[in-house]
Amino acid sequence: MCSYKVQGMSCGHCVRAITRALQARDAQAVVEVDLGAGEVRVAGALSEEEVLAAIRAEGYLAETA
């Protein structure tokens, strides 16, 4: 599972938006979001670049943790 630091997440809507964006690209992806830590963990077939692009496309600042 890879971790990413994500800025701008604050609520359940943020969790759903990021989860949906990632699972739209990899339906089998396992996504864990920790709002308090500002971290998203992803396990699946997506490359690091694909994960970052999906999160950024939702309007969040993201980088590898």
- Average pLDDT for 8-32: 97
Q: Give the tokens for residue 31.
A: 């996504």
pLDDT, average across residues 10-29:
97
SS (H, E, C) the chain: CEEEEEECCCCHHHHHHHHHHHHHHCCCCEEEEECCCCEEEEECCCCHHHHHHHHHHCCCEEEEC
What tens digit of pLDDT does each residue of 20-30 get? 999 999 999 99
Sorted by where each starts, the structural domains of the chain and their CATH numbers stand as 2-64 (3.30.70.100)
Computed over every residue of the chain, the mean pLDDT equals: 97
pLDDT in tens, 34-43: 999 999 999 9
Give the predicted TM-score (pTM) of the model.
0.94
User: What is the C-alpha separation between 58 and 60, in angstroms, rounded?
Assistant: 6
